[in-house]
Amino acid sequence: MNKGDNEEINPDFVTRLAGFLEFDEGRIQHLFEKNYLARNWGKHDYLFRFDKEISRIERGTVFYEKDESFEVIMGFPKIRRAMVLDPTLRKHFSGLEKIAVEEKMNGYNVRVAQVNGEILAITRSGYICPYTTERANVKLNLKFFDDFPELVLYGEMIGPDNPYVPKEIYGIESVEFYIFDIREKNSGNPLPIQKKHEILDEYGFLQVRSFGEIPLETAAEEIAEIVRKLGEEEHEGVVIKDPDMVLAPLKYTSSQSNCSDLKHAFKFYNEAGRDYMLSRIVREGFQTVEWDENEAEFKKRCMQLGESILSPLRESIRSIKNGQRLYEEARIRVKDPKTATEFENYLKRLGIDAVFEEPQSIGDEYLINIKKINKSTNDKTQAILEGDLW
Amino acid sequence: MNKGDNEEINPDFVTRLAGFLEFDEGRIQHLFEKNYLARNWGKHDYLFRFDKEISRIERGTVFYEKDESFEVIMGFPKIRRAMVLDPTLRKHFSGLEKIAVEEKMNGYNVRVAQVNGEILAITRSGYICPYTTERANVKLNLKFFDDFPELVLYGEMIGPDNPYVPKEIYGIESVEFYIFDIREKNSGNPLPIQKKHEILDEYGFLQVRSFGEIPLETAAEEIAEIVRKLGEEEHEGVVIKDPDMVLAPLKYTSSQSNCSDLKHAFKFYNEAGRDYMLSRIVREGFQTVEWDENEAEFKKRCMQLGESILSPLRESIRSIKNGQRLYEEARIRVKDPKTATEFENYLKRLGIDAVFEEPQSIGDEYLINIKKINKSTNDKTQAILEGDLW
């Protein structure tokens, strides 16, 4: 696996980049050696990414040379989580009258921007995904990027043809891009929410659902109600924002979203992060206390938690016992079969073991089913079932 | 916190120890510097322990000078776990006709041996616990150690007055020592099971329950039945042994034991190890598949798992919300009040934050209640409830 191509960085480039970032040259050199700064490969090899957070520049931030200097597309700011709504909202947003509430959708984070005249889809980690890039070019009103070359769309790719996080729950036939932020290149500054809505409306972009502005005073209660309802539809939760986008947003999720994460994690129990699992479990504890649930509600929550953990575990162990291999099913829909080939190579380069089936023609596009293999859980489970010790 | 006293190791001692262990002198020096070899403090400062596994010498192994050489008491060999009984037993014990099955009791591992004329209780990590040592001297038939100074008892301290793992489930009033192995000093070689029973019977020692010898052919099925019954009484599980004690033993535990571990872990969710939690959850998955449970049994297992996780979590969060501090309750019963003081100092030295209440006289002994404070979970929970972000 080779995720980048740092060999050919020349000294002059290092000097200019050091000047631009206001880092020592030695530090830049070191970051390249450690692959914390990494050059993309292939036709996008003019693009560099931060593979680690450095001096408060988010991981996934990308940059490239432009007009004898550099242009930067900042990464997704990590949104911190309220474990309880009250007093967290009052404390975090203190001084505001109202806060804006938007749905947190369950998709694949992507930034879309014009870079050297091309429209690129940049992943959370700072890669250029060829599939997402093709979809963005097909689905989005590209006039926006000509009118605002200095702006970047921050959104989620959502739907069943999203090969990373396939979801049927939103009633989308293939994939769509739901935008949640517009930010400036270089500074990374977000537009205020009102301004964002105006522009997104004007160009006809899909937007994550807005629950409007809510008085801070009653927000904890109202948001609990919103999240409960979202949970009933298996939706994920909300992001709570300062309408001026000065204070950092917070997120808060439904129990169903925690359980859904756990279902996926325990299907591939040997791959999933321990902290990932634990945090989702602990959230259930805080939510049941904050929502002051009665015993019937609590029992229901226990059962849901237990089933979210044990059902996928049992399913995985049974499958392997029956001689099957575990895999994740995914699907893409492309205009150009070349995009599928490029995407296959891209996944390979990222170390993801995926089998692409034959394309099926559908309208003027092609559907391709993909099986992503999770080797570690497969091998571990098989070994245990054959008598290996833990 | 200072768990040892390595400052005063003299060069001659290093030379002799290097010769005895067949290590380079430089390596011995390094092990002392890293505190991987550590000297005890206070009146047992002639005693050294391995604070880390080194060259297949178990962590917790202790040694001391004797007759111009050294004497070693080997640590507890780590017993590996069968995740499924079949085919693991057949594979691990292949070649044996029969295997011996003993109950795995839920207590505190302790080795008891005569060292320089004293009877000492040595913990799994290789410390001399003053409380366990007093109890061993009170409870055990000390004639054994005069008759067999070269043998070491390997057992569990069990019962409600065990301050480490207090358990009421065994119907013990205070604490007792249940022996499971007898091993030789220096070599660490265990006695064959038959011989062990004879000696333990002769001196009237309590022994962990034996389920006798079982044909390897039918062992998986019979042991599943034994473990199911043990689980119904909230007992932990079994250790499965080669009767000659040549092949290493294996362990296998009940669902109730997994859930009981989880209850404790999630009460102190910020202290407990992530791997500890996950492994107990994954065992539930393998057991339900191996035991081929029907949907009703499976639902019950899900509910038990969910409750074992969420109930203690809710309890802890609620307590802190109500202004209480979380602690573990423990209790000791001593003959000599000085033992309690020594034990308090001992815990302090190990970095355990414990509050000792006033001794209450009971017969010719004293009961002392102890509160062990779990600072990390307390502080984290409090912070979250006050609006801190995750």
- Please name which of B228, B232, B181 lies closest in space to residue B77, comparing C-alpha atoms: B181
Q: What's the confidence (pLDDT) of residue A174? A: 97
Contact flag A91-B387 (C-beta cutoff 8 Å): yes
Six-digit token pair at A167? 């979801």
pLDDT less than 70: residues of chain A: 1-5, 7
Cα separation values, A218 from A86, A97, B37, B127, Å: 10, 10, 59, 56
Cα separation of A292 and B314, whole Å? 10
Q: Does domain A255-321 have CATH number 3.40.50.920?
A: no
Contacts of residue A57, defined as CB under 8 A and 6 or more positions apart, other chains included, come to A50, A74, A75
Q: What's the confidence (pLDDT) of residue B187? A: 96
Contacts of residue B169, defined as CB under 8 A and 6 or more positions apart, other chains included, come to B106, B233, B234, B235
> A116-125 contacts: CB < 8 A, separation 24 or more?
A116/A46, A116/A64, A116/A66, A119/A145, A120/A44, A121/A157, A122/A60, A122/A62, A122/A73, A123/A60, A124/A60, A124/A75, A124/A76, A125/A49, A125/A51, A125/A59, A125/A60
Cα separation values, B117 from A127, B66, B114, B120, B372, Å: 69, 11, 6, 9, 33
Contact flag A88-B289 (C-beta cutoff 8 Å): no
The torsion angles phi and psi of B353, rounded to 5 degrees, stand at: -90, 105
* A266 contacts on B by Cβ (under 8 Å): 281, 285
Report the top-level CATH class of B11-73: alpha beta
pLDDT along chain B (390 residues), means of 10: 65 94 94 94 94 94 96 96 96 97 97 97 98 98 98 98 95 97 98 98 98 98 97 97 98 96 95 91 97 97 98 97 94 97 96 95 97 92 93
Q: What's the confidence (pLDDT) of residue B3? A: 58
Question: How close, in Å, is residue A316 to chain B by CA atoms?
Answer: 9
Cα separation of A340 and B344, whole Å? 67
Contact flag A306-B311 (C-beta cutoff 8 Å): no
* Assembly ipTM: 0.89
Contact flag A83-B389 (C-beta cutoff 8 Å): yes
Q: Could you tell me if A216 and A93 are in contact, meaning their C-beta atoms sit under 8 angstroms apart? A: yes
CATH architecture group of domain B327-385: 2-Layer Sandwich (3.30)
Residue from B94, B262, B281 to probe the interface with A (highest A Cβ count within 10 Å):
B281
* B386 contacts on A by Cβ (under 8 Å): 87, 91
B389 shares contact with chain A (CB less than 8 Å): yes
Q: What's the confidence (pLDDT) of residue A201? A: 98
pTM, two decimals, is 0.89
Question: How close, in Å, is residue A260 to chain B by CA atoms?
Answer: 15
Contact flag B266-A274 (C-beta cutoff 8 Å): no
Cα separation of A189 and B264, whole Å? 46
The torsion angles phi and psi of B215, rounded to 5 degrees, stand at: -60, 135
According to CATH, the superfamily of the domain at B80-247 is DNA ligase/mRNA capping enzyme (3.30.470.30)
Question: How close, in Å, is residue B386 to chain A by CA atoms?
Answer: 6
Contact flag A269-B288 (C-beta cutoff 8 Å): no
Report the first-to-last Cα separation within chain A, whole angstroms.
29
The torsion angles phi and psi of B110, rounded to 5 degrees, stand at: -150, 140
Q: What's the confidence (pLDDT) of residue A1? A: 44
Cα separation of A262 and A264, whole Å? 5
Contact flag B309-A314 (C-beta cutoff 8 Å): no
Residues 18-77 (A) with a CB less than 8 A from some CB of B: none
B266 shares contact with chain A (CB less than 8 Å): yes
Rg (chain B; Cα; Å): 22
Contact flag A387-B250 (C-beta cutoff 8 Å): no
Query: Identity (one letter) of the amino acid at A242?
Result: D
- Please name which of B313, B127, B93, B358 lies closest in space to residue B213, comparing C-alpha atoms: B93
Q: What's the confidence (pLDDT) of residue B4? A: 58
Q: What's the confidence (pLDDT) of residue B1? A: 44
Apex B168 CA angle, B167 and B170, nearest 5 = 95
Contact flag B282-A313 (C-beta cutoff 8 Å): yes
Name the residue among B88, B288, B314 with its Cβ closest to that of A288.
Answer: B314
Name the residue among A302, A311, A314 with its Cβ closest to that of B303.
Answer: A302
Cα separation of A199 and A179, whole Å? 11
B347 shares contact with chain A (CB less than 8 Å): no
Cα separation of A170 and A172, whole Å? 5
Contact flag B310-A390 (C-beta cutoff 8 Å): no
The count of other CB atoms within 10 Å of the CB of residue A321 is: 15
Which sign, positive or negative, has the C-alpha torsion B371, B372, B377, B379? Answer: positive
* B280 contacts on A by Cβ (under 8 Å): none
* A309 contacts on B by Cβ (under 8 Å): 281, 302, 305-306
- Please name which of A193, A161, A200 lies closest in space to residue A178, comparing C-alpha atoms: A200
- Please name which of B127, B145, B111, B152 lies closest in space to residue B47, comparing C-alpha atoms: B127
Six-digit token pair at A215? 């008085």
Contact flag A301-B301 (C-beta cutoff 8 Å): no
Q: Assign A151 to helix, strand or coil.
A: strand
Cα separation values, A370 from A172, A327, A332, A349, A355, Å: 19, 9, 8, 16, 6
The model's pLDDT over A186-212, given as tens digits with 9 standing for 90+, comes to 999 999 999 999 999 999 999 999 999
Q: Could you tell me if A276 and A381 are in contact, meaning their C-beta atoms sit under 8 angstroms apart? A: no
For chain B, which residues make up each domain, given as ranges? 11-73, 80-247, 255-321, 327-385
Question: How close, in Å, is residue A24 to chain B by CA atoms?
Answer: 33
Residues 187-246 (A) with a CB less than 8 A from some CB of B: none
Question: Counting beta carbons within 10 angstroms of the beta carbon of residue A24, is it exposed (0 to 12), middle (13 to 18) or buried (19 or more)?
Answer: exposed
Q: Could you tell me if A90 and A83 are in contact, meaning their C-beta atoms sit under 8 angstroms apart? A: no
Q: Could you tell me if A218 and A77 are in contact, meaning their C-beta atoms sit under 8 angstroms apart? A: no
Question: How close, in Å, is residue A261 to chain B by CA atoms?
Answer: 15
